[in-house]
Chain A
Amino acid sequence: MAQTPYEVLGVKKDASADDIRKAYRKLAKEFHPDLNPGKPAAEARFKAVTAAYDILSDPEKRGRYDRGEIDESGAERPRYSYRPHAEGAQGWKYQPQGEMNVEDLDDLFAMFGRGGARRGARAGEGFAMPGPDRHFTLTVDFIEAALGGKQRLALSPDEWLDVTIPPGIETGQVLRLKGKGGPGFGQGAPPGDALIEVRVAPHPFLRRDGDDIQLDLPVSLAEAVLGARVQVPTIAGPVAMTIPPGSDTGTRLRLRGRGIKRRRRGSETAGDQYVTLRVTIGASGDPALAEFLKGWAETHPIDPRRTMGTGAAQDTKA
């Protein structure tokens, strides 16, 4: 076991430069090889004293020695790094107890607050974590959303999924396709699900109102006055409907059972379609109609605004 330079010179650690010099001179004289010919022990001692003095006489070197940067021979000391030890085989020793004593991967996942594999899984079951869910949006045609059907969804350029659309689906509803998400991790881990958010595209003239369908239907003056049998679009295709004579704009007719059909507990329910008439005078520039109305209006003074309190109708001839 090597001595420190202070021990070699026989001085205290806080010795002054003067004390060190005095101690060195005394020992150098005592063990000088010229004064001790043929005494190898004395020569070795003299070398040690000189080396010790070499360090302690130089304030800079002495400081470096005191800080442990150089050893007693003046050689650079390798600086210890704690990290390789902490991460090495012995490092477990200084692991915080209780909170971080991770025994298996289940605990590791629990530590990070992730579901991971369920706690209490039997030992030897191995690590299993369900795959991630995948999210998609699917725009569905109005008629298809009302009637239900199948639609292809492109998951990726070379992966398709046939999605079954239940009748009456609405914008914002999410379809969950079990097992169509990302693959699971580990043995026997189930894949995730595909979650498909549905958007229903609007229809040019049909509108949804729950399970009922609303339609504004233009009718001619003659159809409104005289009545008619017309073809009306519905979600299931055109159907015939009778317009009773004397109908007006705003008249609402019902097509029973022509709305959205649902199956609930074996029995089927169906909404209705409501048709609201809009009288359209397409032939307002027709001279014959105008001529007729001139004569007719004189004998049929009708004021549809009489309940608004705005006064009598203006003379149409003025």
Chain B
Amino acid sequence: MIGLDELLRRCAGLDRAELVRWVENRWVVPEQPSERGGWVFHEVDVARVELILDIRREFAIDDEALSLVLGLLDQVYSLRRQMRRLSAALEAQPPDIRDAIRKALPPGR
């Protein structure tokens, strides 16, 4: 959990105005504990800032394409999270039910 200044310091090559725009676009969603207080970035937010920096720098992607890329990435991660939830639920079933589900799975590919 760090503030804006510490984040800027930690992420070399990150411009303040740029980061503000990312937050406005809701690509990064820091917490704002009080009305006049500064932003607070959690670890997931910091990692996301690094991710956006990497994408911009390494793939030379502009804002418009970046919005698309982030949207798709978020969908993939969301699906992965749901898959994990489902896997956990299946894992919690008795063996015969797990077996039945395995048999009922249509063959992949």
Contact = CB atoms under 8 A, between A and B. Distances in A.
Does B associate with A?
Answer: yes
B17 interface: no
B-side binding surface: helix, strand, loop or mixed?
helix
Interface string B28-60: 010000000000001110111011010001000
B96 to A, nearest CB: 8
A117 to B, nearest CB: 13
Given A91-B44, A182-B100, A82 B50 contact: yes
Contact of A68 (B11, B44, B47): B11
A92 B100 CA distance: 31
A113 interface: no
Contacts of B68: none
A108 interface: yes
Contacts of A65: 12
A1 interface: yes
A186 B12 CA distance: 53
A80 to B, nearest CB: 4
Residue of A4, A67, A80, A88 with highest tally of chain B CB at under 10 A? A80
Contact of A66 (B13, B71, B81, B104): B13
Interface residues of A, number: 33
Contacts of B109: none
A108 B82 contact: yes
Contacts of B53: 68
A94 B57 CA distance: 22
B50 to A, nearest CB: 4
Contacts of B29: 93-94
Interface in A205-247: none
Contacts of B12: 4, 65-68
A95 interface: yes
Nearest to A101: B78
B78 A95 contact: yes
B97 interface: yes
A96 B79 CA distance: 10
A96 B71 contact: yes
Contacts of B84: 87
A69 to B, nearest CB: 9
A100 to B, nearest CB: 5
B69 interface: no
A105 B13 contact: no
A127 B85 CA distance: 14
A92 B81 contact: yes
B11 A82 contact: no
Contacts of A90: 42-44
Interface of A: 1, 4, 65-68, 80-88, 90-96, 100, 102, 105, 108, 127, 131-132, 182-183, 185-186
9 contacts: A80-B50, A82-B47, A87-B81, A88-B44, A100-B79, A102-B85, A105-B86, A131-B100, A185-B104
